[in-house]
Amino acid sequence: MRGHRGHPLWLAYGLHRLSGLALALFLPAHFWVLSMALSSPERLDGFLHWAEAPLVKFAEFGLVFLLAVHAFGGLRLLALELLPWTPGQKTLAAGAVAGAVLVCGVFLLNAV
Amino acid sequence: MTASTGMLEVSVWRGSAGDGQFQAFRVPVQENQTILDVVSWIQQNADPTLSYRFACRVGMCGSCAMMVNGLPRWTCRTHVQKVLNGNRLTVAPLRNLAVIKDLATDMDPFFDKWVEAEGRHHPTATRHDPMPPITADAPGRAEADAAIECINCAVCYAGCDTVAGNPDYLGPAALQRAWTLINDAKEADKGAILTAVAQSGGCFNCHSQGSCTAHCPNELDPMRSVAGLKRATVLAALKGGS
Amino acid sequence: MKPVIERHETDILIIGSGGAGLFAALHAQQTAPQGTRITIAVKGLLGKCGCTRMVQGGYNVALGGGDTVERHFMDTIRGGKWLPDQDMAWKLCNLAVERVHELENEIGCFFDRNPDGSVHQKAFAGQTADRTVHKGDLTGIEIISRLMEQVLARPVERLQEHRAIGLIPTRDGSALAGVLFIDMRSGGFRLVRAKAVLMATGGGPTMYRFHTPSGDKSMDGLAMALRVGLCLRDMEMVQFHPTGLLAGDHTRMTGTVLEEGLRGAGGHLLNGAGHRFMFDYDAKGDRATRDVVSRGIYAEMRKSNVSPNGGVFISMAHLGPENVAAKFPGMVKRCADSGFDLAAGRVEVVPTAHYMMGGVVVDVDTRTTLEGLYVAGEDAGGAHGSNRLGGNGVANSTVYGGVAGEVMGRDVASMTLRDPDEAVLDAELARALHPLGQKPALVQPLRTALQDAMWEHVGVMRDEPGMTRGLTRIADIRAELMQTGIDGTNLAFNLTWHDWLNLASLCDISQVITQAGLARENSRGAHFREDFPDQGDLPSSYFTVARRGGEAMAVDREAVKFSIVKPGETILAEGEPETLVAN
Amino acid sequence: MLDLRLYLLQRISALVMVPLVLTHIVVMICAIQGGLTAGEILLRTQGSLFWLTFYGLFVLAVSVHAAIGLRVIVHEFTGLRGTALTVLGWAVFAGLLALGARAVWAVTL
Ligand SMILES: Cc1cc2nc3c(=O)[nH]c(=O)nc-3n(C[C@H](O)[C@H](O)[C@H](O)COP(=O)(O)OP(=O)(O)OC[C@H]3O[C@@H](n4cnc5c(N)ncnc54)[C@H](O)[C@@H]3O)c2cc1C
Ligand code: HEM
Ligand code: SF4
Ligand code: F3S
Ligand code: FES
């Protein structure tokens, strides 16, 4: 029974939730890696070199993508909730996606 | 001109609270046939034990909503041709409400939440006072008018995944009613309403999924109303200094 | 084996949650002593069934600007062709003023306003002032939703999906002891004893092939009243609305109202050949009153000048489809949902049974001759006489529902719970269980047969041979119903059982309507006898009173008391204009 | 299961993060030009009060924000409520804060 979800606003919500969840799950890992700078900088370097590997690169891109998607989606929500409401919700949703894609695009171009 | 041009394959959910399954029926196609007509045909001709609910049959009472091909809809005003999937139809009880039997659900929680949201007028005047002069362009009037066509059919309530996940959530319809009152110049106790909708099951739980607005058969916009409540409650709290 | 009857007690019991039932609950709460238990039992969900919710046009009330209670009263009496109970009509018009203020100020309704902020009023046919207060064309939704939420928020006990099946008197028959219900959700029986009971089940002439009222209405109240020995008046007076949607006999949409405003705005009625036939019957053409237009359409139908489904067309397109869509958005959308283009095309219409003027004989305080039983709303007869003005229906149910609440609230202090006559209880139980002992068969064909019989013989136009044949057909249908069983394996939410019970009530009342129709040998308002086409002598006007004695039913005539104004006279001040409505 | 307080905290933390996230993304886009090394990172961040405040605030905001976010998701998916839910929220907050603080400590000191 997916039916009632098949519209842009729900998809925007779903994306926001998934990206938020994924970010929250990734965050401890990210922190852990960074704190290696303290205990063993070499290992951190080792990790960062793996960043050259295509798989890790993909993951990295994914993270920035998630962050961008979530941030723009969040901005969309905040605008909707806090500013006096205009009916152009779908435009906002589309704008948020466009913004996220833009950022990711730039990141991707730089990364490769 | 009741020419039937074939048969519909209709899958109807049967059972009572908790357990049940779909049962297949074949229903003759008719011109001008609504989903309610299909369900009624089954009960009147094929299986007299089928249970469902309706009253007005013209979209005014909000008793007849069901899940039709997976979407929450008023069935008395949904033309079969509009939703037909090939020649198949699936009809199930409204989502997010407990089933009494077959297609009839227990709507009490929906109305209990209406009450919990303080969804009723708190008077400023009595029957012995004149009716207040209020013009159409008075502040808030348009906003207050917007929800008046709500027939409390719970279609929005059935479409909302937040309701599904969070049984305490008051839901779009009750909150929309509260928002109407907040904008009503005649309302005496806006404070009580704001308090009611700011409680733990209140407006802050809404994730702006927008399914309420997408499915409301009267083209109302509960999502916008809930957003309005979020602003109003935050503002009131900031002013109240809490 | 006798099924278990759950026994339940309360102080004030209200049956029905339309305008009458809900107002009664609120007012009873305001006047009853502290701690009085109030219970509402209703066939559907509270506030979501019945016809008050379906009110479109609005609510009649004289709010000044030249209009007066006197003028509203005179319109009501003239519209009812001098048959109304004048004291009831007066109280209706007078109290409507306070009631509409209560709706707006205390209940929280918001009625449409003029540009200057004052309440907007319009005129239905038959009114001499702009009097009808409304909320767009969804007035009933606003009134009932607001009333419903007020009642839900108060400590009023709810028995939803409880169908009343019998009024149970005391052993000596002088007072009401309680009401027997089926708890529709479980299929079990429940006897609710109460000191005071309001019956507000709202009539509803759904025994006609085409009808407007909601599906839960099937004359249960009047049938129960008849069985307990109460008198029903004006039962021949069934109002037909001229423009019900005609979409085929397989859809529940058929019979539902297309707003009167469509004709008012200049819509044309066309017969099968596309001819504007109404001018053949009346100088006012399409804008003539409800009864005249209904008869015009019916006459065309008899001549077979009909549309594909056997009615006539309403056409709005000449007014400009965009204009029509802007002015009647609700109607246009409703038609579009069922596949018709009201704005640019033609829509098939047919006269449709709309309102029951007749009902239980009550006094102006809603009391009946049975102590402890009160009746208000469409179930009560008298206020409208032979014809109800558009806008007086919801005024009547809210005014008298409120009155009933107040009166019960006061009376209940000196009343006690009474013991039911167990014999009547057993009889009512047996009546409801009767179909379970018969061989199951389809109920719907019998309902259709009754609707056809009533439409053909006791409908828009009547005569003696027709009605006599009608009586025979009704009796045959009832006999067949008694042989028709239903599958009683599971009585929970068993709609077919309730279809059977609905039809039983409809058969009873159809017979009353027909006998009352035979008893009135003239034509007044909604009642048109082809064999007695004139209205008869006004000063010796009579109303019909039906009563059941044993198995037989008798209809008598009783003289109308002109307690306030005599035919040909007026209570308007001298020099008051005939009408205030600009034409 | 959001009341006014949690709702506000989540929104405020989100607003705080907006400039932080954007800056962070821009910095990362620049930084990955030509590969990333620990040395590079540390060169930029170590001993910088600015980056200490920047990432310190970021960690605080994200801990609050994500803890509330997870709390909502867990409630809606598992129906967990009451004390258990509160404990979970605080645990997530404390865990993230601790891990985050260690990371900030590591790169800025
Ligand atoms: C389509 C339509 C449009 C109308 N438009 C107007 C208008 O514009 N202006 C106007 O003045 N009037 C209008 N009327 C008439 C008006 O709606 C009614 O006269 C009035 O609302 C009746 O109110 P009531 O409370 O008596 O009955 P209802 O509102 O019909 O309520 C009856 C209640 O009794 C319950 N009930 C029935 N049987 C049982 C039982 N056996 N046991 C328990 N409960 C039972 C029903 O479920 C319902 O809750 C319209 C009617 C219709 C059908
Ligand atoms: C600019 C940065 C961010 C903004 C504007 C933002 C905004 C928001 C908003 C408004 C919500 C509420 C959503 C709702 O109630 O439906 C939310 C939820 C959430 N956020 Fe963020 N956020 C940001 C960064 C982050 C980060 C970095 C994380 C990583 C941990 C995160 C994790 C979450 C989670 C887990 C949720 C819950 C999701 C849900 O309830 O659907 N957010 N965010
Ligand atoms: S808002 Fe719309 S969908 Fe929700 S109850 Fe009201 S009419 Fe139904
Ligand atoms: S679908 Fe539910 S989440 Fe909010 S916007 Fe509507 S109430
Ligand atoms: S039956 Fe009343 S809304 Fe469908």
Reported as a single tens digit per residue, the pLDDT across C104-115 is 999 999 999 999
Q: Which of B48, B57, B100 sits opposite C215 (nearest CB)?
A: B57
pLDDT tens profile C524-546: 999 999 999 999 999 999 999 99
C490: helix, coil or strand?
coil
Output the CA D70–ligand 2 centroid distance in Å: 9
Residue D9: alpha-carbon gap to chain centroid: 13
pLDDT tens profile C118-159: 999 998 877 899 999 999 889 999 999 999 999 999 999 999
Cβ < 6 A, ligand 2 pocket: A 16-17, 20-21, 23-24, 27, 70-71, 74-75, 77-78; B 207; D 10, 14, 17-18, 21, 62, 65-66, 69-70, 72-73
Per-residue pLDDT of chain B (242 residues; tens, 9 = 90+): 344 468 999 999 999 877 899 999 999 999 889 999 999 999 999 999 999 999 999 999 999 999 999 999 999 999 999 898 889 999 999 999 999 999 999 999 999 999 999 999 999 999 999 999 998 888 888 888 878 889 999 999 999 999 999 999 999 999 999 999 999 999 999 999 999 999 989 999 999 999 999 999 999 999 999 999 999 999 998 887 54
Question: Of C479, C475, C486, C473, which is closest to residue C443 (Cα–Cα)?
Answer: C486
Residue C517: alpha-carbon gap to chain centroid: 18
Percentage, residues of chain A above pLDDT 70: 60
Could you give the ipTM of this predicted complex? 0.94
Backbone angles phi, psi at C228, to 5 degrees: -90, 5
Q: Token digits for B151? A: 């027939």
Instruction: Give the mean model confidence (pLDDT) for residues C336-364.
Output: 94
pLDDT tens profile B187-230: 999 999 999 999 989 999 999 999 999 999 999 999 999 999 99
Q: Check whether C465 has a pLDDT greater than 80.
A: yes
**What CATH number does the domain located at D2-108 have?**
1.20.1300
Q: Looking at chain B, which residue has its C-alpha nearest residue D77?
A: B165
- B137 and B49, same structural domain? no
Name, in order, each residue with C-beta under 8 angstroms of C91's C-beta and a sequence gap of 6 or more. Answer: C364, C399, C403
CATH number of the domain encompassing residue B24 = 3.10.20.30
Cα–Cα dist A75/B198, whole Å: 22
In chain A, how many domains are there?
Answer: 1
Has residue B198 been placed in a domain? yes
Where does a domain end: B61, B85, B105?
B105
Q: Looking at chain D, which residue has its C-alpha nearest residue A108?
A: D29
Q: Which of B166, B167, B204 sits opposite D3 (nearest CB)?
A: B204
- B82 and B177, same structural domain? no
- B225 and B142, same structural domain? yes
Where does a domain end: B82, B105, B128?
B105
Give residue A72's domain range.
4-111
Cα–Cα dist A11/C447, whole Å: 49
Cα–Cα dist D93/B34, whole Å: 53
- B63 and B112, same structural domain? no
- B151 and B55, same structural domain? no
User: What confidence tier does A53 reach under pLDDT thresholds 50, 70, 90?
Assistant: low
C42 within 8 A of B63, measured Cβ to Cβ:
no
Q: Do chains D and C touch (3 or more CB pairs under 8 A)?
A: no
Residue C231: alpha-carbon gap to chain centroid: 17
The single residue listed with the structure tokens 């998630």 is A66
pLDDT tens profile D5-47: 999 999 999 999 999 998 988 887 777 666 666 677 777 778 8
C365-377 burial: b if 16+ Cβ within 10 Å, else e: bbbbebbbbbbbb
Cα–Cα dist C111/C116, whole Å: 14
B206 CB under 6 A from ligand 4? yes
Which residues of chain D make contact with B201, given a CB cutoff of 8 A?
A: 1
Residue B241: CB atoms within 10 Å:
5
C contact test, residue of B30, B41, B53 with most C CBs within 10 A: B53
Domains of chain D, residue spans: 2-108
Question: Of B42, B33, B103, which is closest to residue B68 (Cα–Cα)?
Answer: B103
CB contact under 8 A, D103 and A75: no
CATH number of the domain encompassing residue A88 = 1.20.1300.10
Name, in order, each residue with C-beta under 8 angstroms of C236's C-beta and a sequence gap of 6 or more. Answer: C358, C513, C516, C517, C519, C520, C527, C544
Element (H, E) at C346: strand C346-356
* Residues of C with a known catalytic role: 241, 263
In chain B, how many domains are there?
Answer: 2
- B204 and B86, same structural domain? no
- B60 and B122, same structural domain? no
Q: Looking at chain A, which residue has its C-alpha nearest residue B214?
A: A7
User: What confidence tier does C511 reach under pLDDT thresholds 50, 70, 90?
Assistant: very high
- B224 and B166, same structural domain? yes
- B122 and B55, same structural domain? no
DSSP-assigned letters across all residues of A40-99:
-HHHHHHHHHHTTSHHHHHHHHHHHHHHHHHHHHHHHHHHHHHSPP-S-HHHHHHHHHHH
Minimal C-alpha gap between A44 and chain D (Å) = 6
Cα–Cα dist C199/C401, whole Å: 10
Which residues of chain B make contact with A82, given a CB cutoff of 8 A?
A: 231
Q: Is the pTM of this model over 0.90?
A: yes
User: Range with the lowest mean pLDDT among A64-73, C18-27, C177-186, C565-574?
Assistant: A64-73
CATH number of the domain encompassing residue B192 = 1.10.1060.10
Has residue B20 been placed in a domain? yes
Question: Of C415, C559, C402, which is closest to residue C19 (Cα–Cα)?
Answer: C402
CB contact under 8 A, D7 and B204: yes
Has residue B68 been placed in a domain? yes
pLDDT tens profile D37-89: 667 777 777 888 898 999 999 999 999 999 999 999 999 999 999 999 999 99
- B79 and B37, same structural domain? yes
Ligand 4 pocket test, pick from B162, B170, B220, B224 with the greatest ligand atom count within 8 Å of Cβ, gives B162
pLDDT tens profile C424-453: 999 999 999 999 999 999 999 999 999 999
Give residue B153's domain range.
108-241
- Angle CA C148–C151–C156, to nearest 5: 140
Cα–Cα dist A100/A107, whole Å: 11
Where does a domain end: B60, B89, B105?
B105
Which amino acid does the sequence have at C297?
A: I
- B187 and B162, same structural domain? yes
Q: Where are the alpha helices (DSSP H) in C354-494?
A: 392-411, 422-433, 444-457, 464-483
CB contact under 8 A, B1 and C308: yes
Which region holds residue C207: left if phi is over 0, alpha if psi is between -120 and 50, else beta?
Answer: alpha
Cα–Cα dist C62/C130, whole Å: 9
- B129 and B180, same structural domain? yes
pLDDT tens profile A54-72: 666 666 677 888 888 899 8
Which residues of chain D make contact with B204, given a CB cutoff of 8 A?
A: 2-4, 6-7
Q: Check whether C463 has a pLDDT greater than 80.
A: yes
